Structures are given as structure tokens and as C-alpha cells.
Structure 1
Amino acid sequence: MPRARNRVGTLTRRGRRRCETMVRSSRITFSSAAAVAMAGAGGSSSDDDEAGEEIESAPPLRVGEERAIGPWGIRKRLLRDGQGWATPVPPDEVSVHYVGTLPDGTLFASTRDGGGEEPRTINLGSGDVVAGLERGICTMKKGEKALFMLPPLAYEDSGAPGVPIGSELHFEVELLSWLTVVDVCKNGGIVKKVLSTGVNRQTGELDEVTVKYKIKLLDESIVEESPEEGSTFFVNEDAFGEQGRAAKNQFSAVPPNSAVNMDVELVSLKPVVDVSGDLKVMKKTLKSGDGLRTPHDGETVHKQVTVGLDRAVATMVKGELAEVTVKFEYGFGSTEVQRQLITVPSCSTLIYEVELIDFTKEKESWEMSAHEKLEAAEKSKVAGNDLFKIGKFQRAAKKYSKALSYINEDGHVEDEVEKLVKTVRISCWLNHAVCCLKLKDFAQAISLCSMVLEIESCNVKALYRRAQAYIELYDLELAKTDLRKALELDPNNKEVKLLQANLKKLQVESDKRDVELYANMFDRITEESDAVSKKRKVENVNHNEETKSSDAEEALEVVKGH
């Protein structure tokens, strides 16, 4: 059942399905029994559009023209054109005036009897009127007036007063207006009637909304109502359920298994986006910005960032104000961090309020000259170095990749900057490889170092870092080969010597484990062989004893026989 919370505007998960289709103000009918059935089926519903009549594609009718509608033998003559292009579809609720006559002009039905001007409300698809008339109304626009000629089958079964069986029927119809009706769950459990349309944006599954609502039984008794300013909208999957609810305060009781009508107005909407895809970086838009363009990677945005905030800002447009919630995995991690104002505890969830004032648009790579590409690559590399120094290895790796995109091998490079481009490219590969080692992506580190060695086979740093990755993957022989070559090139390199010493220790430990493994294997084989031999000896002894016993028994029998 709906209930208010202190915080206005948070739509809980249970009530989302009802509001996801809303754009402004609606009346929603909940059928308890059907809703229970829906819950039992998992609450699933098709996203297909409401089924409407299929009408052959043809030019619009002009006033005075006549045309057949579909295969039902219905003909339509346009008397007055309507407004716009939209037409109603089942189960919409239409308001019409109509006059029904026989071909000779005999009147048998009219909403204008006695000069009255009260229109008729018809729920399309409910069978309120003959099927032919409903099909005709589904072709009309608001304000349109048309004459429909129905075949002589319309009232054949019912035998309506004043209508001879087998008569053709004529209906002059004026479509005044209609209310859009949507069967939200496609099972009658939740039916929404749009009373007034809002802005052209529907709510999403994660969005935060503020709603006003009033819930009534079918006899118009009010059973729940939100505060004037709106509140949280919370509805159980089975409406008020089989048990109903007792009267409380000024509100009426809800009998068991009751259907209810709910008048709902969507007051405000704050779109919420799952930025990271795992609900750990969430952005809630508090104020919309201008335009559609968002910052690309590499563009300058004035902000102090964590990884989560960086990714959230990349989804914002200029002028947008947002609240960004960042879980610790995308924030400061599991370590305590000292900031300017406070110390941030380990594993803290961070909440930012961010306004994107502006960002500097950088040229696309294809718009740059060779010198500009080199300058942009160097700038991105420096940014990567700065991020690496403060432990932001993943973001540093992105900067090195960005730098390489400016000076990729497929791009045209002028002769005078070719050596500089090669130097920057190798530097970015090596730095990216270090990031991969920190991030435990050893296969990628090996790949990056191998790219360097294809160009500079004697690059000691590339050999050293590739050896590090090989050791982590326990490919000790390949690591040994790289370190041997690195020491041939630079015999006094302390880092390489230290890694080689570590490799020797690992090799000794590996050899020791191998010896123990084989020793255990041989011991097991020997033990199994000894056990088999002992078993055979025991079997032989037993056999010999049995043979001796048998021989003695035979001898005794012989003696007795004599």
C-alpha cells in the first residue's frame, strides 16, 4: 500500500512499474486478484504496443469522399476533418456524439435525443457498442465528424428495438475527445488512464520521482492520500492484498480482494543513470543542462576527480547539475585518505553534487597536423604520468592509450618529427606496461613490451618488464632468457640483477618442488610395488600350507584304508 516517507521523491522498486509509463497525471486501476496472478507469474509483462485495428495504407480522406474500411464491409464518408494525426485505439475511453439511422432515415439511436448535448462515453474493445461502430471510431481524429455505413450483420443476434434483422445501419459520429488507456501489465491487474499529458519523457526504472496520489475504492471511498506536496509512492505487488485493510484515521477500510482506483500526478522527475553498469556509480540529474554533447576522454573539465566521478562527468552536458553517488570501489578504495577538510575512512561511499560549468573541446585527431598530434600525445602522456604517481593506474593506462591514438602507426607522420613520435610511442608502451603490471594484467604487459622489442630489440626496460610479467605467470624459462639478454646489454643494472636473483630463488624452489614431487611419486610406486610383492609372498605361503595340509590328509586316508 502507498505510504509516505520523510524524504519526498524517492520511488521504490515495487512501485516503479506503475510510474514508468507516466508522463504527467493518470488514473490507475488496481485489480487485486489480477495483480496477485501477475505476482505469481513473476510480474512479467510484454512491452509490445496495444493492439489496434490494421487499416490499409491509403491517402487521407477528403471531406465528402467515401471509402471502405478493412475487410468488414464498413464504409466511411468524411463529413468534417479533425485535428492532428492521432486516433484512439482499444482500450481507450472515447467521448462521442452519434446518430443511428436506417437507410430510409428512420432514427433508432441518438445521443442528441430531445435536444440534449450530453455525449456518450465508450470504452473501446469492451463491447459497449456494435463492433462495426468501434472499428469506425478507431479511424477518427479529434473533432472529426463522419458517416459510417455498417453491413446488415451488426444487430442480427441482439435484435435491438427498432432495428429489423438484416438492415444496413448508418451512424453519423462526432469524436469529441478521448483518454488514453493502457493495460500496464497486459492482464488487467493495473490499468492506467491518462487524464492530462505531460512533457514528452517517460520515467525509467531507476528514476526518482515525486508524486501526488489519491486511492479510492470503486464506490469512491478514499482509502489513502498523499500530502499536498507529494511523497514517496510505494505499492505492494498485490495492491492491498487478499486481507484488505482496516479503516485508519479519516480513511475508509479496504475490503479483502478489492479493486481500487488511484489518481496519480507525476509532479517532478529526476532521471537516474547507472553509470558504471553495476549500480556502484549512480548519477541523479537535479537540473538539466543544454545540448547533447558530453565531454570526451582527453577534454579538459575543471573538477577534482575519483574514477567514479570522472566516469559520471563524462555523461553530463554543459549546465547540468547532478548528484553522483560513488561506492568505494570507484572512489578512494579500501584505504583511509586525507583530504583538505576531513579524513575519508576506508571503504567510504562518496556523494558529490556536481555542476558541469564548461569543458574545453579538443580537436579530433584527423583535424590535427603532425606537430599538433605529437603535442597532444605528449600532453596525454604527462597526464598519465601524473596519475601514475598518485596510484591511479587504470586512469593512467587510459591516458597512455589516448596518447598512442594520436600517433598510431597507421597515421601519416612528417619526416622531421618521425624520431620524436617513435620516442613518445615507446615511452607510452613502456609506461602502459608498468600500469598493467600494477593492475595484474600480465598478458597485456607482455604484449606491450613485445611491441617495443619489435622496434628496439635491445631495449633493457622492455626486457626487464616483460621478464617481470613472465615471472608472475610462472614462465620462468622465458623470464630467464629476457634477463640474460638485459644483463648482456647492461651488466651493471641493479634492478635487473635483483630480479635475476629473485628468479634464481624461484627456480631453486621450483626445482625442489619438482624433486619432492618425483620423489613422492617414486616412493609411492616403490610402496605399491612392495605391497604387491608382500601380497604375492603371503599368497604363496598360504598356498604351500594348504598344499601340505591337503597332502597330509590324503596320506592319512591312505593309511586308514590299509
Structure 2
Amino acid sequence: MEDSLSAIPNPKTHEHPQMPSLPEKEIGNHGLTKSILRLGNTWPTPFPGDEVEIHYSGHVENGSSLGSSHDKGAPFKFKLGQGEVIKGLDEGVVTMKKGERAIFKIPPQLAYGEVGFPPVILPHSTVIFDVEMISWSTIRDITGDGGVLKKIIVEGEGWATPKDIDEVSVKYEAKLENGTIVSESEGLEFHVGNGKLCPAIHKAVKTMRRNEKVELSVRFSYGFEVELEHEEAITSSRNPNNMTIILELLSWKSVVDVVGDKKILKKVISAGEGFAFPNEGSLAKVIVLGKRKDGAIIEQKGSNEEPFEYMCLEGQVNESLDKAIMTMKKGEKSQVFVFSDHMQGSHEASESVFANPTLIYDVELLDFTKEIPVWKMDTQEKIQACDKKKQEGNALFKEGKFWLASKKYDKAAKCIEFNHSFSDEEKRITKALLLSCNLNNAACKLKLEDYVEAAGLCTKVIELDPHNIKALFRRAQAYLHTSDLDKAEADCRRALTIDPNNRDIKLLHQVIKTKQKEHTLYQAQLFGTMISKMV
């Protein structure tokens, strides 16, 4: 038997011994049957594309031997579903488990058909193979077009794989089919998504686990650019369009985009423990070293002997640092990179996602204690917690810390949003608190230019108090910025029926009326232009 079971060598003709009677199972709808001689010792089976390693012996039904891998002294390897063996073996072996041994009876249409392989295999012959599954290696088509095929050599650890933004360290060797090495490294660090190294490596590393080692079969369009000195080696290669890369993922540092706009990035240096994170009001114990991008130290707080303690989202530390610490686990060490709008634009165009930060913090979260959850509080504790957070929000608003103030108002409102267990007097108090929190939060959202949220908060107030002037005024402001001019004008008219002499509402109403006129004029000009083109 040659390297492919689709071809037959000179056989040794002999009578095949009578097989024991075994229960047969039909595979597919074309007459292929399978009888298991020995059950496998695992539950997975290989997938099309996987490279399998088997022992086999075969013969024509009531006829000649087709050889045996045992006679050759080594198992036979082939890739499933790639046409490297007859179709019946492709369809049969894919159902086998590791350690399994089975007999496959393969009809002519899944074997050598109406032509056969004379003189060994006559036309329309059924063939029988005794197959033992030794093992297989998963071959994954990473790109979906056969451009990068991945085979695992050493399984990785854990379940996580790197993301585009993560920083990884790899070891690799890239060589041509004839063994010529075109690139190699013992330990290279790079960001997965920057695409500067080699397309195949950037794509493959996102599918790998820590300490995983793989073999990549790579078309040159996904590989390294080959230097002129290697042109002769390429020309002499049997398949000049391919190279092989042995790639090992040594380690990686997870990177977190803290608020989703890439202005605060956290690189995990040493992972923490557990699954909990600090929340608003948590008492955090940290060690912090703050630096400018030139390395100058601007802030240093806490030590192992005497950590710095602070309450999360109380405005006690830099707001960006505060947000990053709330994504950390107990015991975690991380670097936090803070970018200004100007710097952010430049780092996006850079090879590194960490280029040109405004500030860099080295942070270790030693421990934290969460505040008491609302569901554990009685009604008076809920009211007190709401009022306290509202007052903290007011103080932050006066300092211009609108994002932090908004978080406080959110938290305050959640303390009392479910009031079914409150007494009538407590419901009166909580209604006033809820109106105040939502109104103040709407003011924060206007400052933060989050006009949709601002309008939504005002609507909540108006549902509880239809004559609330501030809510109508602020919602009209929000509608003006979202170009909902009719809604904005309606809110102003409604507010003026309640307080006809309110100067701020009158001024806003005038601005809205002017915008409406400008919009009407624009629509008229646009319509006129369309008509002139049609005439």
C-alpha cells in the first residue's frame, strides 16, 4: 500500500480468514457498514480536516489482500475529507474513537467504482478494511480558505485565548518546504491585533491557549515576506506556495479597555484571585505609583505595610484610575494607561496600543470590602443610603465631576426604586428623593452630552410629577440636541402654561422656534432643488 489508500501496490494474494459474525451498523445512505471489534477509550471523534493515525489491513471481498500497515512497520497517516484515501474510509474513520478497532465493508461506489484497480481489484468490487484508530491531530482551517491550517503539537493550558488588544510573547520558526528557515525568534512580544509581524501568526495566536505549540501550514499570502536570498530555495521547493511555521504561545498579558473608548487601558501584569470586583462604595486597599509618559513620578500612595485605603467612586483618586481599579480582582497587579483625546488619536495609528499615554499607573489591589447590598437593608437604611449618595452626588456635581456624580445618583435611585415594603410616609419621602435623584442625574447627562439618557430620566420624573417644570425644561434641552424639535417645542409650551413668566424657558422656546424655522427653510430649499432637477 502506498502513502494513499486511493492507490494499490502489488498485492499478496491469499484467502482472507473467515471473520466472526459481528453486528453491523450502516453509515450514511450508500451501503457503507461498520462492525466494532473493540470499543474506543474516549468519547470524541475526529473532524474532517484532522490528521489521523491508523493501523489497517485490507482485502477485496472474497479476494486479494490490499496490504497492511503492520507489514510496513509504521502507522498510516492521512487528512480526513481531503481525498487522500477512498471515500468509504474517509466516511468510516471519521466515526471512530481513540483506541477503537472496526471492520468497514465498503461498496464499490465508495471504493474503486466501475473501473476498479486491475488486476488486484476488479470493477464493481466491494473492499473490506480492518482499521484501528491510534490517534489524531486536529487540523483547523483558521482563515476558511485553506490559507492557514493549524495542527496542535502540544495542548495548551486553561481555556482562555488572547484578544486583539492583548500583548503576547511567542517563540516561532518559519521555514520553506525544503527546510530553509526564513524567520525565527526565541521570544517576541507584540500586540495581537497590530498585524505587523505575519498574518498567519496574528490569526493563529488568537486561537491558542497558554503554552500551546502548533504547526501552521501557510500559503505565502499569509506568511512572512521572503527575502531575495531565498528565491532559489523557493524555486526548488515541490510546493513553492507554502511555508511551515512552528509557533509556541509562551505567555500573554490581558489588556482591558476599561470604558470601551480606548482612553483607559489596563494591562494585567499578575492575575488576581476569585471572580469578584470592587463596586461603587467598596473600601479598596491599593498600592499606586503614577508616572507621566517621560517616567517622572507624579503620585505615590500606599505600601505593603500600610496600603492606601479609599472608597471607590468617591472622587478620592484620579477618575480614570478609579474606573480601572473597579475592573481588578483581589491580589491583581496591573498597569493602567490613560490617554487624552489628542494622544489617543496618535496611539491608534501606532504599532503599539500603549503608545503616547498621558499617564501611567502601576497598581496593586491588595484587598477590598464591598458595601452592604440594598437587598440586605431595611426600609430606613435604604432611605438613609439614598439620601447619603444623593448628597455625595451633589458635591461631585459642584466639583464638575459629572460622570462620578451621575453614578452616585444612579446608585441612590436604586436604593429606593422598589418601594412595595415602604409605609405611606416612607413612600412620600422616597418619591421626593427619586424625583430629585433623576432630575440631578438628567443635569449630569446633559453636561456629559448624553441627551438620550437625559430625556429618559426626565420622562421618569414627569411620569411621577406631570407638572415638574425642571423636568420639562431639561427634556426640552435634550430634545433640542437630538433634533426632536417638535417634542422640544411641545415641552416648552407645556412648561409655560405652568409658569408663563419663566425666563429660562422663554429663551429656550425662542431658540427652538428659530431652529424650526431654519429647518423649514432648509426643507423648502431642498424640495425646490429636487423639483428643478425633475423639470
Q: Same fold (TM over 0.5)?
A: yes
SS at match of 1:129: coil
1:134 aligns with 2:90: yes
The verdict on how the C-alpha distance between 1:503 and 1:240 changes in structure 2, with shifts beyond 3 A counting, is closer
C-alpha deviation, 1:215, in angstroms: 0.6
Number of the residue aligned with 1:324: 336
Number of the residue aligned with 2:379: 370
The 1-side partners of 2:423 and 2:126 are apart by 85
Number of the residue aligned with 2:112: 155
For CA contacts below 8 A with separation 6 or more, give which structure has more relative contact order: 1
Give the residue type in structure 2 aligned to 1:320: E
C-alpha deviation, 1:204, in angstroms: 2.3
Q: How many residues align?
A: 414
C-alpha deviation, 1:128, in angstroms: 2.2
C-alpha deviation, 1:360, in angstroms: 2.6
The 2-side partners of 1:360 and 1:391 are apart by 28
The 2-side partners of 1:454 and 1:125 are apart by 64
SS at match of 2:360: strand
The 2-side partners of 1:464 and 1:147 are apart by 83
Q: Given the alignment, which residue of 63, 85, 89 partners 2:47? A: 89
Number of the residue aligned with 1:44: none
The 1-side partners of 2:473 and 2:108 are apart by 91
C-alpha deviation, 1:188, in angstroms: 1.9
Give the residue type in structure 2 aligned to 1:264: L
The verdict on how the C-alpha distance between 1:208 and 1:72 changes in structure 2, with shifts beyond 3 A counting, is farther
1:308–1:330 contact (8 Å) kept in structure 2: no
Number of the residue aligned with 2:13: none
The 1-side partners of 2:225 and 2:104 are apart by 49
Task: Give the structure with the higher percent strand.
Answer: 2
Structure 1 segment 493-508 matched on structure 2, within 5 A: 500=503
Give the residue type in structure 2 aligned to 1:319: G
Give the residue type in structure 1 aligned to 2:198: V
C-alpha deviation, 1:276, in angstroms: 2.8
The verdict on how the C-alpha distance between 1:255 and 1:285 changes in structure 2, with shifts beyond 3 A counting, is farther
Structure 1 segment 361-400 matched on structure 2, within 5 A: 361-400=370-409
Structure 1 segment 468-479 matched on structure 2, within 5 A: none
Give the residue type in structure 2 aligned to 1:121: K
SS at match of 1:210: strand
C-alpha deviation, 1:392, in angstroms: 1.0
1:245 aligns with 2:245: no
The verdict on how the C-alpha distance between 1:220 and 1:243 changes in structure 2, with shifts beyond 3 A counting, is closer
Q: Given the alignment, which residue of 258, 262, 267 partners 2:245? A: 262
2:266–2:336 contact (8 Å) kept in structure 1: yes
Q: Given the alignment, which residue of 243, 256, 269 partners 1:286? A: 269
The 2-side partners of 1:451 and 1:129 are apart by 69
The 1-side partners of 2:228 and 2:450 are apart by 62
SS at match of 1:260: strand
C-alpha deviation, 1:426, in angstroms: 4.5
1:287–1:321 contact (8 Å) kept in structure 2: yes
Give the residue type in structure 2 aligned to 1:361: K
Gaps of 5+ in 2: 1-20, 191-195, 201-219, 285-309, 345-355, 481-487, 519-535
Give the residue type in structure 1 aligned to 2:112: Y
Give the residue type in structure 1 aligned to 2:51: E
SS at match of 2:251: strand
Number of the residue aligned with 1:404: 413
The 1-side partners of 2:408 and 2:343 are apart by 19
2:281–2:370 contact (8 Å) kept in structure 1: no
SS at match of 2:25: strand
Larger Rg: 1
The verdict on how the C-alpha distance between 1:482 and 1:323 changes in structure 2, with shifts beyond 3 A counting, is farther
C-alpha deviation, 1:478, in angstroms: 7.0
Give the residue type in structure 2 aligned to 1:360: T
Point out the more displaced range, 418-427 or 149-158: 418-427
C-alpha deviation, 1:378, in angstroms: 2.4
Cα deviation digits, residues 349-381 of structure 1 (max 9, x gap): 333333333333344433431012112212322
2:148–2:222 contact (8 Å) kept in structure 1: no
The verdict on how the C-alpha distance between 1:369 and 1:166 changes in structure 2, with shifts beyond 3 A counting, is same
Structure 1 segment 457-476 matched on structure 2, within 5 A: 463=469
The 1-side partners of 2:382 and 2:68 are apart by 79
Give the residue type in structure 1 aligned to 2:391: V
Q: TM-score, normalised by structure 1?
A: 0.62
Q: TM-score, normalised by structure 2?
A: 0.65
Aligned-residue RMSD, C-alpha: 4.2
Give the residue type in structure 1 aligned to 2:441: H
Number of the residue aligned with 1:225: 184
Gaps of 5+ in 1: 1-62, 333-346, 487-499, 518-562
The 2-side partners of 1:160 and 1:270 are apart by 61
The verdict on how the C-alpha distance between 1:231 and 1:395 changes in structure 2, with shifts beyond 3 A counting, is closer
Cα deviation digits, residues 35-65 of structure 1 (max 9, x gap): xxxxxxxxxxxxxxxxxxxxxxxxxxxx964
The verdict on how the C-alpha distance between 1:354 and 1:83 changes in structure 2, with shifts beyond 3 A counting, is farther
Cα deviation digits, residues 247-293 of structure 1 (max 9, x gap): 38xx9965596421111111112233333333333333333333333
